[in-house]
Structure 1
Amino acid sequence: MRKITIKDVATETGLSIATVSYAMSGKKVLPPETVQQVKDAIKKLGYVKNISASSLASNKSSLIGVVIPQTEPGSMMVFQNPFYSEILSSIEYNARIRGYHVIVSGTNADETYFHLAQQRNLDGIIVIGAYSEDFYEGLNESNIPVVLVDSYMDNHAYKEVKLDDIYGGYAATKYLLEHGHKKIAFLSGKLKTGGVSAKRYEGYRSALEEGGVPVNPSYLFHANVDFEKARKMARRIVTETDCTAIFCTADVIAMGAIKELNIMQIKIPQQISIIGFDNLDIANYCTPGLTTIGQDIFEKGKKAVEMLCYTMDEKVKEPEEYVVPIQIVERESVAYI
């Protein structure tokens, strides 16, 4: 079937192409009956606006790029960690109601992104996670507005949405200490410099030191943020340590740990307690319900879109950073000892 063009709409109405274009864009005041005539023709013919052509004409694509981290080449992290599903849902919804579409890209550690951004004529980019200095330099050279989420860059060229992850790690560990636990395992993703796991580890260490509990290197377990790897690490914690509690730096890690401990018939929280981080929807549905450090993931995505739109439109001067509040969400996975 041949694609309907603006020329077809003009032929159907008997109007010029310019008049039809003005009627669709609203850039010129036309008689209401003329606008209605164009709308009727569009509906009748099934005309769909050519976004690419409009982008060339206006130098605005109405596209926002979202970069999510890949921990290793070939990884499908966005599908493995529900956190990314939840924040992407928020970003997509909040972008759509502002007239933008979203292109999601997962970049491996050996890839750059800004060439694709220029080719797609992206209006703005939201970057989730921590990357190399070269990556950010490339983004900066592209001259495309950027907002960082959980990136912890000491670079005031970008606006950022983040948590106080050090405090979150501190709060989780202190909560376990207050429940009588002193042998607390730390189960996390890779401790990448400047990354969220490293920040949460800093909080974990701070709470232990404040409580007079030395950090035991044999209690530290970290790999990729992955359900299956978390299962293997949880088995090691049980078989190789005498820990009574585990601080998991992401709920998806806690889910893997709970799964493995259930298989091993280790009772939670009677034999070992677990606290997570994020308060994903799935934290409500596991057995037992997961006590976790809660963050408003929808608000994080919404704020990232708002800050990016303000930057793109150069309207209201937003703060350089926005810190999403956190709180402990108590369920049934931590016991007093």
Structure 2
Amino acid sequence: MTVSNVINKRSSKVSADTVTKIEKAIEELGYVPDYSARSLVSKKSKMIGVIIPQTETHKQFLLENPFYSEIVSGIESKLREKNYYMMLTGVDKDSNYLDVLINWNLDAAIILGIYQEGFYEQLKKINIPVLLIDSYINDGFFYNLGIDDLYGGYIATKYLIEKGHQDIAIITGHLKKEGVAEKRFLGYKKALDEAGIPFNINYVYADSVSYECGITAGQKIIEECQAVTAVFATADLIAAGAIASFHAADIKVPDDISIIGFDNLSISKMTYPLLTTVDQKIFEKGMKAANILMDTLKSSNSKIEKSVILDIEIIERNSVKNMKSKR
């Protein structure tokens, strides 16, 4: 029992001398705990699953998007601090999430960006805490963590309008109903409507959340919409691609065209010029997700918030020109 207490960090009632002797013996014997056996006894695996649906067409998308890298890093760092382990996987469009959750013997799971269709009702049969990130499913069954994406799209577009821009294009991912991209798009339309600026469908470029999408859309804006003076890119990765296409065409940012992104990824501090963007503190978002699950596993307290909306703000850098200052 004494040895078990020391191994499991419950050594408050064990003398310092005894702890030292046991730790020395562990080192000399090369003892490693059998976590599989331990999980069978305790019925706890200390494993948290993180599942990222592969919503884009290409299969290598899991960590190609730096958004996922940052949020997963935040989750993992907090779980490690709490002596938990993370299992990470992508799930293809037609795959069954339930197989992953059941086979892994998880204590809890985090799922990013899912929609209320098909498997969702089946997911409710899993008897572990589940946290959804960036999912507009609000039936109160699972824990939810996200931001107000509609408001984010609104403040990004309003920022451009306040700088004197009226011909504002938007480059976005697929506009799927009740998805993050659609919410940001609706925020864009709301800001235009509030300012009395007519919505122009020709200024909408919807494809995928990728650098390549930004390049292609940027080229189309150059060729088809020469009146456009500003672009709202619903992800920094898209914005970086658009900036690259503008540079290639010798169109200067922000002198000739302005652009604002969304996320405040590390890439936004590497573009030229540095990218003005909507900050959603992604690393901290990941840590918050892990903390919510840790709280649910420690306590069955019904006062733990089921839905948490995090604050966002605009980070001003150098990619937006103030048109009013020139008048």
What TM bracket, shorter-length normalisation? over 0.9
* Percentage of matched positions with identical amino acids: 44
Where does residue 260 of structure 2 map in the other structure? 275
8 Å CA contact 2:279–2:315 kept in 1: the answer is yes
Q: Residue 22 of structure 2: SS of its match in structure 1?
A: helix
What are the within-5 Å matches in structure 2 for residues 179-328 of structure 1? 179-241=163-225, 242-316=227-301, 317-328=303-314
C-alpha distance in 1, partners of 2:26/2:117? 49
1:327 partner letter: E
Select the residue among 112, 119, 137 that pairs with 1:153: 137
1:215-268 Cα shifts (integer Å, max 9, x gaps): 111111011101112211110111111311110000011011111111111111
Cα-to-partner distance string for 1:262-296 (whole Å, 9 max, x where unaligned)? 11111111111100001112211210010111111
Which structure's CA Rg is the greater one? 1
Kept in 2: contact 1:291–1:330 (CA 8 A): yes
TM-score, normalised via structure 1 length: 0.90
Residues 17-42 of structure 1, C-alpha deviations (whole Å, 9 max, x = no match): x6644553367966665544332211
Q: 1:21 to 1:335 in 2, by over 3 A?
A: same
Which string of whole-angstrom CA distances, capped at 9 and with x for unpartnered residues, describes residues 297-325 of structure 1?
A: 12211111111111122254321211111
Partner of 2:152: 168
Cα 1:269–1:56, aligned 2, differ >3 Å: closer, same or farther? same
2:51 to 67, 70, 74: 67
Please, which of 49, 54, 71 is the counterpart of residue 87 of structure 1?
Answer: 71
Structure 1 pair 26–72 and aligned structure 2 pair: CA distance change class (3 A)? closer
1:138 is matched with which residue: 107, 122, 130?
A: 122
Structure 1 partner of 2:7? 24
Gaps of 5+ in 1: 1-17
Distance in 2, Cα, partners of 1:328 & 1:186: 17
Q: 1:131 Cα deviation (Å)? A: 3.1
Q: Distance in 2 between matches of 1:290 and 1:31?
A: 57
Change (3 A) 1:74 1:56: farther
Asked if 2 retains the 8 angstrom alpha-carbon contact of 1:112 and 1:138, the reply is no
Which letter does structure 1 place at the counterpart of 2:321? A
- Give the letter aligned to residue 141 of structure 2: A
* Larger CA deviation: 248-257 vs 153-162: 153-162
The SS at the match of 1:92 is helix
Higher mean alpha-carbon deviation, 130-139 vs 233-242, is at: 130-139
Structure 2 residue runs of 5 or longer lacking an equivalent are none
CA RMSD of aligned residues (A): 1.8
Q: Is the 8 A contact 2:131 2:289 kept in 1?
A: yes
1:334 aligns with 2:317: no
- Larger displacement relative to structure 2 (311-320 or 204-213): 311-320
User: Structure 1 pair 177/74, CA: closer, same or farther in 2 (3 Å)?
Assistant: closer
Matched, 1:129 2:113: yes
Contact 2:215–2:241 (Cα < 8 Å) also in 1:
yes
For residue 328 of structure 1, give the secondary structure of its aligned residue in structure 2. strand
Listed one character per residue, the Cα deviations across residues 70-111 of structure 1 (whole Å, up to 9, x for unaligned) are: 124552223321111111111000011011111111111111
Cα distance in 2 for residues equivalent to 1:150 and 1:291 = 22
Please give the alpha-carbon distance, in whole angstroms, between the structure 2 residues aligned to 1:306 and 1:214. 44
Q: 1:62 and 1:220 mapped to 2: Cα distance?
A: 45
- Residue in 1 that maps onto 2:95: 111
